[in-house]
Structure 1
Amino acid sequence: MEELRDERVNLEVVSSDLVYEGAVWDVRSDTVRYGDGEMTRQYVDHPGAAAVVAIDDDERVVLIQQYRHPIKERDWEIPAGLLDVTGEPPLETAKRELTEEVDLEADRWQHLISMHTTPGGNDEIVHVFLARGLRTVETDYEREHEESDMRVERVLLADVVDGVLAGRLRNGILATGVLAAAEVLRREAATH
Protein backbone atom coordinates (compact mmCIF):
# COMPACT_ATOMS: atom_id res chain seq x y z
CA MET A 1 0.00 0.00 0.00
CA GLU A 2 1.17 3.53 -0.76
CA GLU A 3 1.62 6.08 1.98
CA LEU A 4 -1.72 6.38 3.78
CA ARG A 5 -3.26 9.83 3.28
CA ASP A 6 -6.56 11.61 2.82
CA GLU A 7 -7.49 12.14 -0.81
CA ARG A 8 -8.82 15.39 -2.28
CA VAL A 9 -11.92 15.03 -4.50
CA ASN A 10 -12.90 17.77 -6.95
CA LEU A 11 -16.62 17.58 -7.63
CA GLU A 12 -18.69 19.79 -9.89
CA VAL A 13 -20.68 22.16 -7.69
CA VAL A 14 -24.15 22.57 -9.19
CA SER A 15 -25.20 25.17 -6.63
CA SER A 16 -23.87 26.70 -3.43
CA ASP A 17 -26.24 28.77 -1.32
CA LEU A 18 -25.66 30.78 1.84
CA VAL A 19 -28.31 29.50 4.26
CA TYR A 20 -27.22 31.53 7.29
CA GLU A 21 -24.60 34.23 7.73
CA GLY A 22 -23.15 34.27 11.22
CA ALA A 23 -20.75 36.45 13.15
CA VAL A 24 -17.97 33.84 13.06
CA TRP A 25 -19.06 31.20 10.54
CA ASP A 26 -21.79 30.62 8.00
CA VAL A 27 -24.02 27.72 7.01
CA ARG A 28 -24.00 26.71 3.34
CA SER A 29 -26.02 24.27 1.26
CA ASP A 30 -24.13 22.77 -1.69
CA THR A 31 -25.45 20.53 -4.42
CA VAL A 32 -22.71 18.57 -6.18
CA ARG A 33 -22.53 15.93 -8.89
CA TYR A 34 -21.50 12.66 -7.26
CA GLY A 35 -21.40 9.31 -8.98
CA ASP A 36 -24.35 9.04 -11.35
CA GLY A 37 -26.39 11.76 -9.70
CA GLU A 38 -26.42 14.76 -7.45
CA MET A 39 -26.45 15.20 -3.70
CA THR A 40 -27.12 18.17 -1.44
CA ARG A 41 -25.27 18.72 1.83
CA GLN A 42 -25.44 21.50 4.41
CA TYR A 43 -22.35 22.37 6.43
CA VAL A 44 -20.74 25.06 8.55
CA ASP A 45 -18.35 27.17 6.46
CA HIS A 46 -15.58 27.87 8.96
CA PRO A 47 -12.47 30.09 8.64
CA GLY A 48 -10.22 27.55 10.42
CA ALA A 49 -8.15 27.97 13.55
CA ALA A 50 -4.74 27.59 15.11
CA ALA A 51 -4.06 26.07 18.53
CA VAL A 52 -1.05 25.75 20.82
CA VAL A 53 0.18 22.97 23.09
CA ALA A 54 2.45 25.16 25.23
CA ILE A 55 4.73 23.06 27.43
CA ASP A 56 7.04 24.59 30.02
CA ASP A 57 10.42 23.28 31.18
CA ASP A 58 8.71 21.16 33.88
CA GLU A 59 6.61 19.35 31.21
CA ARG A 60 3.46 21.17 32.26
CA VAL A 61 0.87 22.08 29.63
CA VAL A 62 -0.75 25.51 29.73
CA LEU A 63 -4.51 24.92 29.82
CA ILE A 64 -7.41 27.33 29.82
CA GLN A 65 -10.92 26.69 31.04
CA GLN A 66 -13.79 28.68 29.63
CA TYR A 67 -17.53 28.44 29.12
CA ARG A 68 -18.69 26.92 25.82
CA HIS A 69 -22.37 27.50 25.20
CA PRO A 70 -23.16 24.63 22.78
CA ILE A 71 -22.07 22.06 25.39
CA LYS A 72 -23.06 24.22 28.41
CA GLU A 73 -19.77 23.43 30.14
CA ARG A 74 -16.57 25.14 31.18
CA ASP A 75 -14.23 22.79 29.37
CA TRP A 76 -10.46 22.59 29.50
CA GLU A 77 -8.76 23.63 26.28
CA ILE A 78 -5.42 24.66 24.86
CA PRO A 79 -5.00 28.27 23.67
CA ALA A 80 -6.53 28.65 20.22
CA GLY A 81 -8.12 31.15 17.90
CA LEU A 82 -9.70 31.66 14.53
CA LEU A 83 -7.77 32.27 11.33
CA ASP A 84 -9.60 35.57 11.07
CA VAL A 85 -6.79 37.94 10.06
CA THR A 86 -6.54 38.02 6.28
CA GLY A 87 -3.24 36.61 5.05
CA GLU A 88 -1.96 35.66 8.52
CA PRO A 89 -0.26 32.24 8.46
CA PRO A 90 -1.51 29.71 11.05
CA LEU A 91 1.78 29.86 12.99
CA GLU A 92 1.42 33.62 13.43
CA THR A 93 -2.18 33.12 14.59
CA ALA A 94 -0.96 30.56 17.14
CA LYS A 95 1.69 32.98 18.42
CA ARG A 96 -0.87 35.78 18.67
CA GLU A 97 -3.37 33.60 20.51
CA LEU A 98 -0.77 32.38 23.01
CA THR A 99 -0.03 35.99 23.90
CA GLU A 100 -3.65 37.18 23.87
CA GLU A 101 -5.06 34.30 25.89
CA VAL A 102 -2.34 33.49 28.42
CA ASP A 103 0.27 36.30 28.24
CA LEU A 104 3.03 34.02 26.97
CA GLU A 105 5.55 33.88 24.15
CA ALA A 106 7.71 30.92 23.14
CA ASP A 107 11.25 30.55 21.81
CA ARG A 108 10.66 27.29 19.91
CA TRP A 109 7.72 26.39 17.68
CA GLN A 110 6.96 23.14 15.91
CA HIS A 111 3.96 22.15 13.79
CA LEU A 112 2.28 19.10 15.36
CA ILE A 113 -0.80 18.35 13.28
CA SER A 114 -3.51 19.80 11.10
CA MET A 115 -6.92 18.26 11.65
CA HIS A 116 -10.48 18.48 10.37
CA THR A 117 -12.61 18.76 13.51
CA THR A 118 -15.95 17.49 12.19
CA PRO A 119 -15.67 16.69 8.47
CA GLY A 120 -19.25 15.46 8.24
CA GLY A 121 -20.61 18.82 9.38
CA ASN A 122 -18.08 21.58 8.77
CA ASP A 123 -14.98 22.44 6.78
CA GLU A 124 -12.95 23.66 9.77
CA ILE A 125 -9.26 22.82 9.83
CA VAL A 126 -7.21 23.42 12.97
CA HIS A 127 -3.43 23.71 12.83
CA VAL A 128 -1.88 22.67 16.16
CA PHE A 129 1.60 23.78 17.18
CA LEU A 130 3.95 22.78 19.99
CA ALA A 131 5.46 25.77 21.81
CA ARG A 132 8.44 25.48 24.15
CA GLY A 133 10.79 27.90 25.85
CA LEU A 134 7.89 29.81 27.39
CA ARG A 135 8.21 33.27 28.88
CA THR A 136 5.65 35.65 30.36
CA VAL A 137 4.94 38.91 28.56
CA GLU A 138 2.88 41.91 29.56
CA THR A 139 -0.09 42.61 27.34
CA ASP A 140 -2.95 45.05 27.35
CA TYR A 141 -5.27 42.65 25.54
CA GLU A 142 -8.80 43.03 26.89
CA ARG A 143 -10.52 39.69 27.40
CA GLU A 144 -14.30 39.71 27.06
CA HIS A 145 -17.28 37.34 26.90
CA GLU A 146 -16.14 33.73 27.55
CA GLU A 147 -12.55 34.91 27.98
CA SER A 148 -13.42 37.42 30.75
CA ASP A 149 -13.41 34.78 33.50
CA MET A 150 -11.09 32.29 31.83
CA ARG A 151 -9.06 30.14 34.19
CA VAL A 152 -5.40 29.37 33.32
CA GLU A 153 -3.52 26.42 34.82
CA ARG A 154 -0.29 24.55 34.15
CA VAL A 155 -0.83 20.81 34.42
CA LEU A 156 1.68 17.98 34.02
CA LEU A 157 1.54 16.57 30.51
CA ALA A 158 1.13 13.03 31.89
CA ASP A 159 -1.89 14.15 33.96
CA VAL A 160 -3.51 15.77 30.92
CA VAL A 161 -2.96 12.60 28.87
CA ASP A 162 -4.50 10.57 31.73
CA GLY A 163 -7.50 12.92 31.77
CA VAL A 164 -8.00 12.53 28.03
CA LEU A 165 -7.75 8.74 28.14
CA ALA A 166 -10.10 8.55 31.14
CA GLY A 167 -12.70 10.68 29.34
CA ARG A 168 -12.55 13.56 31.84
CA LEU A 169 -11.12 15.96 29.23
CA ARG A 170 -13.24 15.79 26.09
CA ASN A 171 -12.24 18.81 24.03
CA GLY A 172 -11.14 17.34 20.70
CA ILE A 173 -8.46 19.89 19.91
CA LEU A 174 -6.95 19.53 23.40
CA ALA A 175 -7.06 15.72 23.18
CA THR A 176 -5.52 15.48 19.72
CA GLY A 177 -2.92 18.16 20.38
CA VAL A 178 -1.79 16.82 23.74
CA LEU A 179 -1.58 13.22 22.52
CA ALA A 180 0.45 14.36 19.50
CA ALA A 181 2.76 16.43 21.72
CA ALA A 182 3.25 13.50 24.10
CA GLU A 183 4.25 11.29 21.18
CA VAL A 184 6.67 13.89 19.82
CA LEU A 185 8.32 14.20 23.24
CA ARG A 186 8.45 10.41 23.60
CA ARG A 187 10.18 10.08 20.23
CA GLU A 188 12.63 12.85 21.10
CA ALA A 189 13.49 11.13 24.41
CA ALA A 190 13.98 7.81 22.61
CA THR A 191 16.61 9.31 20.29
CA HIS A 192 18.65 10.90 23.09
Structure 2
Amino acid sequence: MENKIKRLSRELKFKGEILEFYQDTMEIDGTHTATWDFIKHKGAAAVVPVTDEGKILMVRQYRNALERYTLEIPAGALDSTDEPGISCASRELEEETGFRSEHLKWLITLRTTVAFCNEKIEVYVADKLIPSRQHLDEDEFIEIQAYTIEELKEKIFTGEIEDAKTISSLLAYDVKYRKNK
Protein backbone atom coordinates (compact mmCIF):
# COMPACT_ATOMS: atom_id res chain seq x y z
CA MET A 1 0.00 0.00 0.00
CA GLU A 2 2.90 2.38 0.73
CA ASN A 3 3.98 2.61 -2.93
CA LYS A 4 0.52 2.98 -4.45
CA ILE A 5 0.57 6.80 -4.50
CA LYS A 6 3.42 9.00 -5.71
CA ARG A 7 3.63 12.76 -6.29
CA LEU A 8 4.82 13.53 -9.80
CA SER A 9 4.76 17.32 -9.53
CA ARG A 10 3.70 20.23 -7.32
CA GLU A 11 2.77 23.61 -8.80
CA LEU A 12 2.40 26.77 -6.69
CA LYS A 13 -0.87 28.51 -7.60
CA PHE A 14 -1.07 31.22 -4.92
CA LYS A 15 1.14 32.54 -2.11
CA GLY A 16 -0.43 34.51 0.73
CA GLU A 17 0.69 35.71 4.15
CA ILE A 18 0.17 32.38 5.97
CA LEU A 19 -0.91 30.01 3.19
CA GLU A 20 0.47 28.68 -0.06
CA PHE A 21 -1.92 26.91 -2.43
CA TYR A 22 -0.54 24.14 -4.67
CA GLN A 23 -1.88 21.67 -7.20
CA ASP A 24 -0.20 18.28 -7.06
CA THR A 25 -0.19 15.77 -9.88
CA MET A 26 -0.31 12.33 -8.28
CA GLU A 27 0.27 8.89 -9.75
CA ILE A 28 -2.21 6.37 -8.38
CA ASP A 29 -1.24 2.68 -8.33
CA GLY A 30 0.91 3.18 -11.43
CA THR A 31 -2.23 3.19 -13.58
CA HIS A 32 -3.50 6.78 -13.71
CA THR A 33 -2.93 10.31 -12.45
CA ALA A 34 -5.06 12.65 -10.39
CA THR A 35 -4.86 16.32 -9.43
CA TRP A 36 -5.00 17.03 -5.71
CA ASP A 37 -5.12 20.37 -3.94
CA PHE A 38 -2.60 21.05 -1.19
CA ILE A 39 -2.50 24.02 1.18
CA LYS A 40 0.78 24.64 2.97
CA HIS A 41 0.40 26.45 6.30
CA LYS A 42 3.31 27.82 8.33
CA GLY A 43 1.82 26.55 11.58
CA ALA A 44 0.08 28.03 14.60
CA ALA A 45 -0.26 27.80 18.34
CA ALA A 46 -3.15 28.24 20.75
CA VAL A 47 -3.64 28.51 24.48
CA VAL A 48 -6.29 27.61 27.06
CA PRO A 49 -5.93 30.43 29.61
CA VAL A 50 -7.23 29.41 33.05
CA THR A 51 -7.90 32.05 35.72
CA ASP A 52 -7.25 31.50 39.41
CA GLU A 53 -11.02 30.93 39.76
CA GLY A 54 -10.84 28.09 37.21
CA LYS A 55 -12.59 30.00 34.42
CA ILE A 56 -11.27 29.95 30.87
CA LEU A 57 -10.64 33.18 29.00
CA MET A 58 -12.15 33.11 25.52
CA VAL A 59 -11.88 35.57 22.64
CA ARG A 60 -14.88 36.74 20.66
CA GLN A 61 -13.84 37.94 17.23
CA TYR A 62 -15.12 38.35 13.69
CA ARG A 63 -14.19 35.60 11.24
CA ASN A 64 -14.43 36.60 7.61
CA ALA A 65 -14.71 33.01 6.32
CA LEU A 66 -17.89 32.51 8.38
CA GLU A 67 -19.12 36.12 8.10
CA ARG A 68 -19.85 36.24 11.82
CA TYR A 69 -18.35 36.45 15.28
CA THR A 70 -17.00 33.30 16.92
CA LEU A 71 -15.97 32.30 20.43
CA GLU A 72 -12.50 30.71 20.47
CA ILE A 73 -9.43 30.11 22.56
CA PRO A 74 -6.61 32.59 21.83
CA ALA A 75 -4.48 31.48 18.89
CA GLY A 76 -2.34 32.73 16.07
CA ALA A 77 0.07 31.86 13.31
CA LEU A 78 3.73 31.25 13.96
CA ASP A 79 5.94 34.19 12.97
CA SER A 80 8.14 31.71 11.08
CA THR A 81 8.07 27.97 10.47
CA ASP A 82 10.85 27.44 13.02
CA GLU A 83 9.28 29.49 15.84
CA PRO A 84 8.59 27.26 18.86
CA GLY A 85 4.87 26.79 19.46
CA ILE A 86 5.19 27.74 23.12
CA SER A 87 6.66 31.13 22.15
CA CYS A 88 3.78 31.79 19.77
CA ALA A 89 1.19 30.68 22.35
CA SER A 90 2.73 32.96 24.98
CA ARG A 91 2.72 35.91 22.57
CA GLU A 92 -0.87 35.31 21.47
CA LEU A 93 -2.04 34.97 25.07
CA GLU A 94 -0.76 38.45 25.91
CA GLU A 95 -1.68 40.05 22.57
CA GLU A 96 -5.27 38.81 22.59
CA THR A 97 -6.22 38.64 26.28
CA GLY A 98 -4.00 41.17 28.00
CA PHE A 99 -2.61 38.50 30.33
CA ARG A 100 0.68 36.66 30.33
CA SER A 101 1.87 33.53 32.08
CA GLU A 102 5.15 31.90 32.94
CA HIS A 103 3.37 28.56 33.34
CA LEU A 104 2.50 27.24 29.87
CA LYS A 105 2.15 23.46 29.62
CA TRP A 106 1.70 21.50 26.40
CA LEU A 107 -1.81 20.06 26.04
CA ILE A 108 -2.21 18.61 22.52
CA THR A 109 -1.05 18.98 18.93
CA LEU A 110 -3.73 19.24 16.27
CA ARG A 111 -3.73 18.68 12.53
CA THR A 112 -6.80 20.61 11.43
CA THR A 113 -7.65 19.42 7.91
CA VAL A 114 -5.46 16.49 6.92
CA ALA A 115 -7.21 15.85 3.61
CA PHE A 116 -5.69 18.93 1.96
CA CYS A 117 -3.70 21.02 4.44
CA ASN A 118 -0.61 20.48 6.61
CA GLU A 119 -1.62 23.02 9.30
CA LYS A 120 -0.34 22.03 12.73
CA ILE A 121 -1.48 23.76 15.92
CA GLU A 122 0.31 23.21 19.21
CA VAL A 123 -2.01 23.91 22.14
CA TYR A 124 -0.89 24.88 25.64
CA VAL A 125 -2.59 25.50 28.99
CA ALA A 126 -1.67 28.71 30.81
CA ASP A 127 -2.41 29.31 34.47
CA LYS A 128 -1.19 31.77 37.12
CA LEU A 129 -2.19 34.57 34.74
CA ILE A 130 -0.48 37.93 35.22
CA PRO A 131 -2.35 41.09 34.14
CA SER A 132 -0.64 42.91 31.28
CA ARG A 133 -2.25 44.62 28.29
CA GLN A 134 -3.62 43.63 24.92
CA HIS A 135 -1.45 44.20 21.85
CA LEU A 136 -4.01 43.71 19.07
CA ASP A 137 -3.09 43.89 15.41
CA GLU A 138 -4.70 46.85 13.66
CA ASP A 139 -7.26 44.55 12.00
CA GLU A 140 -8.17 42.69 15.22
CA PHE A 141 -11.18 43.56 17.36
CA ILE A 142 -11.36 41.10 20.22
CA GLU A 143 -13.64 40.92 23.23
CA ILE A 144 -12.51 38.78 26.18
CA GLN A 145 -15.03 36.68 28.11
CA ALA A 146 -14.49 34.17 30.96
CA TYR A 147 -16.48 30.93 31.23
CA THR A 148 -16.50 27.77 33.29
CA ILE A 149 -15.66 24.57 31.44
CA GLU A 150 -19.25 23.42 31.98
CA GLU A 151 -20.57 26.57 30.27
CA LEU A 152 -18.16 26.03 27.38
CA LYS A 153 -19.09 22.36 26.97
CA GLU A 154 -22.75 23.43 26.78
CA LYS A 155 -21.82 25.92 24.04
CA ILE A 156 -20.00 23.12 22.18
CA PHE A 157 -22.89 20.67 22.40
CA THR A 158 -25.51 23.24 21.40
CA GLY A 159 -23.46 24.22 18.34
CA GLU A 160 -22.58 27.74 19.49
CA ILE A 161 -18.86 26.87 19.42
CA GLU A 162 -17.90 25.22 16.12
CA ASP A 163 -14.19 26.00 15.87
CA ALA A 164 -12.31 22.68 15.77
CA LYS A 165 -9.19 23.82 17.63
CA THR A 166 -11.34 25.29 20.39
CA ILE A 167 -13.55 22.23 20.74
CA SER A 168 -10.59 19.82 20.73
CA SER A 169 -8.60 21.90 23.17
CA LEU A 170 -11.41 22.49 25.65
CA LEU A 171 -12.41 18.83 25.71
CA ALA A 172 -8.77 17.75 26.05
CA TYR A 173 -8.32 20.21 28.91
CA ASP A 174 -11.45 18.87 30.60
CA VAL A 175 -10.23 15.28 30.37
CA LYS A 176 -6.59 15.91 31.26
CA TYR A 177 -6.93 18.46 34.05
CA ARG A 178 -10.43 17.94 35.42
CA LYS A 179 -10.91 14.18 35.17
CA ASN A 180 -10.89 13.71 38.96
CA LYS A 181 -13.23 16.61 39.76
TM-score scaled by length of structure 1: 0.85
Task: Write out per-residue CA displacement over residues 128-166 of structure 1, whole angstroms, 9 at most, x where no aligned residue.
Answer: 111111111246x34321x1x211111111100111122
Aligned residues, how many?
A: 179
* CA displacement at 1:11 relative to structure 2: 5.7
Say which of 141, 150, 157 aligns to 1:158.
Answer: 150
Does residue 9 of structure 2 align to residue 15 of structure 1? yes
For the residues of structure 2 that align with 1:143 and 1:48, how far apart are their CA atoms?
Answer: 18
Secondary structure of residue in 1 paired with 2:159: coil
Secondary structure of residue in 1 paired with 2:102: strand
Question: Match of 1:55?
Answer: 50
Report the more deviating stretch, 159-168 or 85-94. 85-94
Q: Which amino acid aligns with 2:177?
A: L
Contact 2:4 2:28 in 1 (8 A): no
Say which of 168, 174, 179 aligns to 1:182.
Answer: 174
Structure 1 runs (4+) deviating above 6 angstroms are: none
TM-score scaled by length of structure 2: 0.89
In structure 2, relative to structure 1, the CA distance for the partners of 1:23 and 1:153 (3 Å cut) is same
Between the two proteins, what is the percent identity of the paired residues? 26
**Unpaired stretches in structure 1, ≥5 consecutive residues:** 1-7
For the residues of structure 2 that align with 1:26 and 1:12, how far apart are their CA atoms?
Answer: 21
Secondary structure of residue in 1 paired with 2:154: helix
* CA displacement at 1:10 relative to structure 2: 10
Secondary structure of residue in 2 paired with 1:65: strand
For the residues of structure 2 that align with 1:10 and 1:69, how far apart are their CA atoms?
Answer: 39
Secondary structure of residue in 1 paired with 2:47: strand
